[in-house]
Every structure is written in C-alpha cells, then in structure tokens.
Amino acid sequence: MVKMRLNKFLSNSGLASRRKCDEIIKEGKVFVNGKLITELGAKINEKKDKVIVEGKVISLPSSFIYIKLNKPKGYACTAKDEKGRKTIYDLIKCEERLFSIGRLDYDTEGLIILTNDGDFANKVAHPKFHMEKEYRVTIEGEIKESELAVMRKGVVIDGDRLPSAKIQKLDSDEKFTKLSVIIDEGQNRQIRRMFEAIGKDIRLLKRVRIGDVKLGGLKRGEYKDLTEAELNSLVRIK
C-alpha cells in the first residue's frame, strides 16, 4: 500500500498549508498512533493511522468544499485573531475546517477563496503559476502618468524593487481617482506599499478577481460555492 506523507495528510485535512504543517511537525505537536512524530518525511496510512494534533484527532474530509467570499473591511483572515478582532470565519457557516488561498489584510475587502482541500490550495497558491489578482483602488486626488509608469515598472523601496503591475485609470474627478491594478506575485501589502511609495493615500482597496474567478455580484460578507467552470479554471492553471 502506498502511504501518504504526514505533511500532505495534515494539509489535505484542512489544518494548514503544507509549509505550515511542516512547522507544526517540527514543533512536536503531532502524534501518530500515540507516538510523537517530528520527522518531516514521515509517512502514514491515512485510512488506518490515528493522527492527533494538539489533542485533536485529524482526519481527511469526506467531501471537498470550494467557496468564494466577499470579505468586508474590518475582518482578519485568520481562524483566531490574537487581537480579538472579527475574522472571515465568523461570516461562514460551515462545520469543516477551511483555510483561505492567499489573504487580504484587515483593511482590504473583496474576493477570498476558501477550501478544505489542502492539496488544491497548495497548488493554486504556488508562486510559480503567477496567478493574476485584480484589484479596484480608489485614491485621493489625481495621479500622473509618470507615477503610473513607475508602478508599472516596479516601485523601488529601500533599494528593493517591487514586482511590476498592470495599472489602468478607470475614472477620476477633483477628489478621487479609481484604478484597476493587476499583480501576479502578491508580496505582503504590495499594492499599499506601491501607492505609499509615491505619496498616495488609498481610500478603498478591493480584490475583484483571482485568475478567472470574479467577485461578481456578491455583497459584502456573502459567500457561495465556486461553479464547476470557476473550479475548472483554477485546476487548468496546473
């Protein structure tokens, strides 16, 4: 019988990403059939072995869930926030343990994909696929073409160049400018850092697309299952 790597089993159970599961194993939090396991290459029989993490029995889900959520501003993308703030999981009625494919910061709203299929999440989130993520950005005041050119090339901060971005001005008036920003790497707070570097204040930041999956007409705080076409579009990236 072909056995499954322990970190893959934990990830597929929805516990965390593959990398995070490696950390959990190294930290001595995983027991298999009563034995502490700290070896990263350990394999198990997923149908027979009993796996416990921090006192909780871990098992593979009986079925996989794939949903998209319109995250409102003021929610953290963690299962439990150390500051006691509301999280995206307060919005979702689901008994399965879900985790998000990528995150949005506390003050950013828009599209989040959640699943209990750890293997799928690991593949979709892998940076080698350069999956596009599109945002709507509202800033105060006008923006010059020269400033757009800087961000399209990649803003330099403290000697390090951020990844380039596709940017298009959508609308503007005397007070605000609305733009479409598309990135395919997603460094931490990348878009906010880009605009901060050119002295622009963001009033609204919303993700509207991941790959071919669009936010659509979802209201803030609403979620629904991915359609078969949406799911297939993510799978095809592989």
CA distances from 65 to 6, 12, 120, 224 (A): 21, 12, 11, 10
Q: Are residues 139 and 202 in the same domain?
A: yes
Q: 205 and 140, same structural domain?
A: yes
CATH code at 190? 3.30.70.1560
pLDDT at residue number 237: 58
Rounded to whole angstroms, how far apart are CA atoms 127 and 138?
Answer: 27
Q: Which residues pair with 43 in a beta bridge?
A: 5
Q: What is the pLDDT of residue 1?
A: 60
Q: Domain ends where: 39, 58, 77?
A: 58
Q: 124 and 141: one domain? A: no
Residues in a beta bridge with 100: 114
What is the domain-level CATH number for residue 51? Answer: 3.10.290.10
| 117 included as an active-site residue | no
Structure tokens at 27: 């930290």
CA distance 80 to 89: 9
Instruction: State whether 71 and 115 are in the same domain.
Output: yes
Same domain, 122 and 136: no
Q: How far apart are CA 25 and CA 69, in angstroms?
A: 30
Could you tell me the CATH number of the domain that includes residue 123? 3.30.70.580
Task: Assess whether 182 and 152 both reside in one domain.
Answer: yes
pLDDT at 13: 83
Regarding whether 202 and 144 lie in a shared domain, the answer is yes
* Same domain? 113 vs 222: yes
Q: Clarify whether residues 197 and 90 are in a common domain.
A: no
132 contact partners, CB below 8 Å, separation of at least 6: 182, 183, 184, 209, 210, 211
Same domain, 175 and 227: no
Determine how β-strand 109-115 pairs with β-strand 202-210: parallel
Calpha distance 144→197 (Å, rounded): 14
pTM of the model: 0.80
Residues 198, 150 within the same domain: yes
As for how many domains the chain has, the answer is 3
Q: Structural domain of residue 104, as residue ranges? A: 66-128+217-236
Divide the 238 residues of the chain into consecutive groups of 10 and give the mean pLDDT of each group.
86 82 95 95 92 92 90 91 90 86 91 88 78 94 93 90 93 93 86 93 95 94 95 77
- Which DSSP letter does residue 87 get? B
Catalytic one among 49, 81, 105, 212?
105
| Pair (232, 172) in one structural domain | no
